[in-house]
Amino acid sequence: MTKETRPVAARRRELLRQLLPAGAPRLWCPLLTHYRDDGSLDLERTARQLDAIRPHVGGLLLAGSTGDGWELDEAQRQRLVAEMLPLARERGFAVLLGVLKPTAQGMRQAMAATVAALCAQAGTDDPTEAFARCGVAALTLCAPHGQALSQDELGSALDELLASGVPVSLYQLPQVTGNRIAAATYAALVARHANLLMLKDTSGEDTLAQAADDADGVLLLRGAEGGYARHPKAGGGRYDGALLSTANGLGAALGGVLDALCAGRREQAQALSARIEAVVEPVFAAAAALPVGNAFTNANKALDHVMAHGEAAGMAQPPRLHAGTRLPREFVATAAAALARQGLAPARGYLQNRTGSSA
């Protein structure tokens, strides 16, 4: 890191201390969005899930890919944030808010609307102060969509968005955007913008993390599934934490991996990681074959459904998707079987009442 970039890194650390006063969570969850039969948000269901994962998960991404962030129109996204943010704050979660739009213009407009809403709620014109008062650490955005976009075009678009000064978590998601932010492009953005606080990489390639300079102070979060014991810094990897879709249903197991690593029990962590992977691989493969919905969302709604209903999962109505359809029962059965094989399926789910029926 050059002398010129040191003040940027110092300001970044100051912002992180202000926005994450309890420190950065090691495990974040891109929360599922639950719906009632009429398509409205099911906040009671969401609250029950939050209570179930809170012992193991410290941070949330609302309106992320797994939470239907790409499918929600802007009015739906704003309503989701307004209604779900209080549930997260009451439980002490650190929060990221997804601003997932295919164009730079769409992201800019959504960022402005979100900042205005938070400032109004917090009673201040200072965005950073508003974020801190509302319990929001940053807005999460991706590169604009397009395979043909050059690195100059990607860098220019992101540079303009970051120039707003709003705290940002940058999301590398080539599976959706069709492109990749190169290490040099990322490094230039980090050097210029202290408000670039975090990087989430779901590519599975780890190029940006491998090229990152720890002295820059950016929090590195891995979003790709697999290698749960290998990629955290406690396991000899490059990441400060993980932001994993599977934290919706497998938060306890993922937390167990991190606990074991922090205690120096690497073999135990690796063994538990292998069991999680043995669940994730067949469920995600089956989800990819479904004709509707996002594969990340579908896979994790099925896993969460089993954790919510336990042995009664097959009898409970399958989860509703944003499009209005429901997951096939046979797909839910695939998730239940994968969890059972690895000893990760509960007998009683977190939605079950004292009589053993599902709420």
Whole-prediction pTM: 0.95
- Look at residue 95 and tell me whether its pLDDT is greater than 80: yes
The residues that bridge with 138 in the sheet, in sequence order, are 96
User: 355 by DSSP, 3-state: which?
Assistant: coil
Cα 307 to the chain's mean position, in Å? 19
Please name the residues in contact with 252: beta carbons below 8 A apart, sequence gap of 6 or more.
55, 56
At position 21, the amino acid (one-letter code) is P
Q: Which tens digits make up the pLDDT trace of 106-155?
A: 999 999 999 999 999 999 999 999 999 999 999 999 999 999 999 999 99
The residue-averaged pLDDT of 16-31 equals: 97
DSSP letter at 218? Answer: P
Q: Which tens digits make up the pLDDT trace of 314-342?
A: 999 999 999 999 999 999 999 999 999 99
Under a CB-based contact definition with an 8 Å cutoff, are residues 232 and 269 in contact? no
pLDDT score for 6: 82
Q: Which fold has domain 3-263?
A: TIM Barrel (3.20.20)
Give dist(CA 22, CA 299) in Å, integer. Answer: 31
The residue-averaged pLDDT of 158-175 equals: 97
Angle between helices 295-309 and 247-262 (to 10 degrees): 80
Q: Where are the domains of the chain?
A: 3-263
Label residues 58-85 b or e (16+ Cβ within 10 Å = b): bbbbbbbbbbbbbbbeeebbbebbeebb
